[in-house]
Amino acid sequence: MPAAISCVTIPVEDLQKSIAFYRDGLGLAVEEQDEDHAALDLDGVYLVLLQREEFASYAEQVGARPAPRGAIEAIISYFTDPDGHTWEVLFDGE
């Protein structure tokens, strides 16, 4: 079975503000939501927005330290969301 990414989780400061950005700004559908997280559908890959405190506890469970807000360890590129995550949106019309 080939490996595939099915979920990308990012930490957010204000869950409602981030939901509004991704839902209203980018047109992503919210598939699941509670007080700590929201899962948005990226055509079969889920973008999970997780409150920063919850994200930190998950990171610590696997022996990692979460990067501080605004730190960039990898670039996805070209515009940023309310929490400073940088994105690049491409469309292949073929």
- CATH code (residue 43): 3.10.180.10
2 is a domain residue: no
Count of structural domains, the chain: 1
| Residue whose structure tokens are 């981030």 | 18
94 is a domain residue: no
Tokens of 77: 């590129």
1 is a domain residue: no
pLDDT in tens, the chain (94 residues): 566 778 888 889 999 999 999 999 999 999 999 999 999 998 888 999 999 989 888 778 777 777 777 775 544 447 778 888 877 665 544 4
The span from the CA of 19 to the CA of 50, in Å, is 10
Length of the chain: 94
Whole domain around residue 41: which residue ranges? 7-87
Cβ atoms 39, 46 nearer than 8 A: yes
Tokens of 89: 């949106």
